[in-house]
């Protein structure tokens, strides 16, 4: 084994990150002024929301700190700690170079997809916040500017009687009338009473009738006041998904999400091409290399990457650019805290084919307390003009809601 390979994969190797940068990624040089900044530390803490959100902070010798978020999941904080030596001493303005460097350094540990990509995403989002603050520009400016001043939000709705069509319609009406949303989503992978064996992914006729009744009742109740999508969570076989999509074609469905498991692209393509019901897919694929195949094969009508999971802000932008070549809109999946939600807002502002961003925490009364700024107003997010992401962590709220055993960021 060569010393070069060992140095690329050993955080305790004698080479410094700056020497590795010169050898493997090209020298960066001195740029002068306030842009000569070095990363000094990376820290994480987990907040116990409706998911255990992993917040990331990147610190510099200039006293400027960037805040990001990685998609929730076991092992993410440990992977970020593992990657810390690879970015300390580096200039945070080199977002693309540092991202590619982390992908290369972690290639032996799974940076093609999965939780390693998610961990890198958290650092990447924090770098955008940090670079925006150093350069005194909002994050969308780092992505090429903006197409819109506000982003539409779709509310992922739930009810204790999730299988009752009328209860779903009641909640849809409440969310539209009382909370001000004009875009909604409901689950369709709910019990119908007709199930025999859910493991085989086959939908019996009664199950399809029940799911179609939910779709009909909700869409008829809200009519043109809101767009409504429906999520299947990768539950059904290809044949059942096609029958379900066919059964709801007559209703005003915004999209049907993840009707089949994500692994087999050919099945996904078959389902999409055999219905006029719009099909949305994307949250369980990683980086532009995976989502590109969905788009180029026209296996998706609406692509739904999850920004703090898929690779970060610039990776999501790359996915949107490919989708735009096929006239496919982007509806970002999002179950995050206000940090990654605002990162998605900046990306959504910077791409032409942005449709909406998901909001999954409307039942969590303290979601917005995590930041000092207001985030969602009447179903929309105003794109901030403040530097970076434009939101500031409320450390008291973070401390109050931390996962047991976590420690607060060391601001020193």
Contact in structure between 38 and 30 (CB atoms under 8 Å):
no
Which tokens go with 81? 């700690």
Q: Quick one: tokens of 173?
A: 């009406």
**Collapsed DSSP state (helix, strand, coil) of residue 177:** helix
Angle among Cα 41, 397, 358 to the nearest 5 degrees reads: 90
pLDDT at 28: 59
pLDDT at 2 over 60: no
pLDDT at position 18 is 44
Report, as an integer, the average pLDDT of 377-402: 97
For the domain covering 150-386, report its CATH number: 3.20.20.120
Distance CA 104, CA 14 (A): 18
pLDDT at residue number 29: 62
- Determine the pLDDT at residue 8: 44
Cα separation, 152 vs 183, in Å, equals 8
For the chain, the residue count is: 412
pLDDT at residue 7 is higher than 50? no
Look at residue 31 in the predicted model and tell me its pLDDT: 79
377 φψ region: left (φ > 0), alpha (ψ -120 to 50), beta (else): beta
Kindly report, residue by residue over 238-272, the tens digit of the pLDDT.
999 999 999 999 999 999 999 999 999 999 999 99
Q: Looking at residue 193, what DSSP letter applies?
A: S
Residue 149's φ and ψ, nearest 5 degrees, are: -95, -10
The pLDDT value recorded for residue 20 is: 46
- Does pTM top 0.85 for this prediction? yes
> pLDDT digits over 106-124, tens only?
998 888 888 999 999 999 9
Looking at the domain 3-137, which fold is it? Enolase-like; domain 1 (3.30.390)
How far is the C-alpha of 199 from the C-alpha of 189, rounded, in Å? 13
CB 57 within 8 A of CB 42: yes
Q: Do domains 3-137 and 150-386 have the same CATH topology?
A: no
pLDDT at 66: 98
pLDDT at 15 over 70: no
Rounded-to-10 torsion of CA 69, 74, 76, 79: 170
3-state secondary structure 9-75: HCCCCCCCHHHHHHHHHCCCCCCCHHHCCCEEEEEEEEEECCCEEEEEEEEECCCCEEEEEECCCCC
3-state secondary structure string across 124-164: HHHHHHHHHHHHCCEHHHHCCCCCCCEEEEEEECCCCCCCC
Burial 334-361 (b: 16+ CB within 10 A, else e): bbbbbbbbbbbbbbbbbbebbbbbbbbb
Mean pLDDT for 184-196 is 91
**Better pLDDT: 33 or 65:** 65
The confidence score (pLDDT) of residue 410 equals: 87
Q: HSE of 328 in the Cβ direction (CA atoms, 13 Å)?
A: 30
SS (H, E, C) 283-332: CCCCHHHHHHHHHHCCCCCEECCEHHHHCCHHHHHHHHHHHHHCCCCEEE
Q: What is the DSSP string of 257-272?
A: E--S-SS-HHHHHHHH
Cα distances from 391 to residues 119, 122, 138, in angstroms, run 21, 16, 11
pLDDT of residue 10: 54
Is the confidence at residue 401, as pLDDT, over 90? yes
For tokens 């809601």, name the residue.
Answer: 401
Does the CA dihedral 134-63-93-75 come out positive or negative? negative
Residue in 87, 123, 128, 120 with CA at minimum distance from that of residue 103: 120
Report DSSP state, residue 234.
T
d(CA 331, CA 302): 7
Domain coordinates in residue numbering, the chain = 3-137, 150-386
């Amino acid at each position: 084994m060569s010393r070069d390979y060992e140095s690329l994969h050993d955080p305790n190797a004698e080479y410094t990150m700056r020497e590795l940068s010169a050898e493997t990624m090209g020298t960066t040089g001195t740029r002068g002024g306030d842009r000569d900044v070095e990363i000094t530390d990376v820290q994480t803490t987990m907040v116990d929301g409706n998911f255990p959100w992993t917040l990331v902070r990147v610190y510099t010798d200039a006293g400027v700190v960037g805040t990001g978020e990685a998609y929730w999941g076991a092992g993410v904080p440990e992977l970020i700690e593992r990657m810390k030596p690879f970015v300390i001493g580096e200039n945070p303005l080199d977002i693309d170079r540092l991202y590619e460097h982390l992908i290369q350094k972690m290639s032996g540990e799974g940076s093609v997809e999965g939780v390693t990509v998610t961990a890198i995403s958290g650092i990447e989002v924090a770098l955008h916040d940090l670079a925006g603050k150093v350069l005194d520009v909002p994050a969308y400016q780092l992505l090429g500017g903006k197409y819109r001043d506000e982003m539409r939000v779709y509310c992922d709705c739930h009810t204790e009687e999730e299988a009752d069509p009328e209860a779903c319609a009641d909640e849809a009406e409440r969310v539209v009338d009382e909370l001000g949303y004009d875009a909604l989503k409901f689950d369709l992978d709910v019990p119908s009473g007709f199930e025999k064996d859910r493991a085989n992914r086959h939908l019996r006729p009664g199950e399809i009738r029940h799911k179609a009744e939910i779709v009909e009742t909700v869409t008829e109740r809200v009519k043109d006041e809101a767009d409504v999508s429906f999520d299947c969570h990768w539950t059904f076989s290809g044949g059942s998904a096609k029958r379900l999509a066919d059964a709801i074609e007559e209703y005003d469905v915004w999209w049907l999400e993840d009707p089949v498991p994500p692994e087999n692209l050919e099945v996904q393509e078959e389902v999409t091409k055999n219905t006029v019901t719009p099909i949305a897919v994307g949250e369980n694929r990683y980086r532009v290399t995976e989502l590109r195949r969905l788009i180029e094969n026209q296996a998706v009508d609406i692509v739904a990457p999850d920004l703090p999971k898929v690779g970060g802000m610039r990776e999501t932008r790359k996915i949107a650019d490919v989708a735009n070549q096929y006239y496919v809109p982007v509806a970002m999946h999002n179950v995050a805290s206000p940090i990654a939600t605002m990162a998605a807002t900046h990306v959504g502002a910077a791409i032409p084919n942005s449709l909406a961003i998901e909001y999954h925490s409307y039942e969590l009364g303290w979601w917005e307390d995590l930041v000092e700024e207001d985030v969602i107003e009447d179903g929309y997010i105003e794109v901030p003009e403040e530097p970076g992401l434009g939101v500031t962590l409320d450390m008291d709220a973070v401390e109050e809601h931390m996962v047991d055993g976590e420690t607060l960021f060391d601001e020193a």
